[in-house]
Amino acid sequence: MDKLIQKNKKTNKKVASFSTDAAEYFHRIPASILSSKWFKEEHLKHYKSTDFKLHLTACLNEALVNWEKNTAEALRLKSGESSTPDLGLPVGLSCSAFLGNVVLDSFDKVIGKEIKPAYYGRYVDDITLVMEWHEELTDPQQVWQWIRKRTDRITTAKSDATHSPTGNSDVLFRVYPSELNPSNQDSDSDALYVTFKSNKTRLLVA
């Protein structure tokens, strides 16, 4: 990053720093993600069925699912509501941070392959990109549009007007599946998306 800044100073070119974080990140990751088809195919397929790691993963998955179920029931009883939203992963738990990193590993690969920034850093869901500025990078929404043109795994969805009077769009990154099957109507309903808020994305040009 320092090399890019020094290089651009000599040529009078600007540098753009783009930072964002995911909305309600841990709450939107299913508590049962360890038992998902995606996780098994991506991270467990090389282990034998008798491997202790698989047994440990199954135990952790059961603990996370039971935590969500029991906590949701306690909240329902306390509030008197007939139902409660999905709680996702417990915030503050060490394995939640680990799983949070695993979920966005594919985002890292997309950024590295398709965007190729001068600098890319991520701590769980806090993300920073630094790249040479050009006229398509004038505001956060345009940066997201520029990124979206380079991968079909990023889409946009209009925010609720009551929460977004300016008409900003949510930015959705599809974790899985890596490709949608047009002939399978359930392929999108089973997908996991990470949401970024355009109006909470920051752009600094210097």
pLDDT score, position 89: 96
pLDDT score, position 198: 85
Beta strands in the chain (DSSP E): 15-21, 119-123, 126-132, 154-158, 169-176, 192-197, 202-205
Average pLDDT over residues 27-39: 94
Going by pLDDT thresholds of 50, 70 and 90, the confidence category of residue 139 is very high
Taking the C-alpha atoms of residue 193 and residue 177, their distance in angstroms, rounded to an integer, is 10
Taking the C-alpha atoms of residue 30 and residue 173, their distance in angstroms, rounded to an integer, is 16
Write b or e for each residue in 129-168: b if 16 or more Cβ atoms lie within 10 A of its Cβ, otherwise e: bbbebeeebeebbebbbebbeebebbebeebeeeeeeeeb
pLDDT score, position 182: 57
Q: Is the pLDDT of residue 161 over 50?
A: no
Going by pLDDT thresholds of 50, 70 and 90, the confidence category of residue 22 is very high
Task: Give the angle 167-198-153 at the CA atoms, nearest 5°.
Answer: 110
CB atoms within 10 A of CB 169: 18
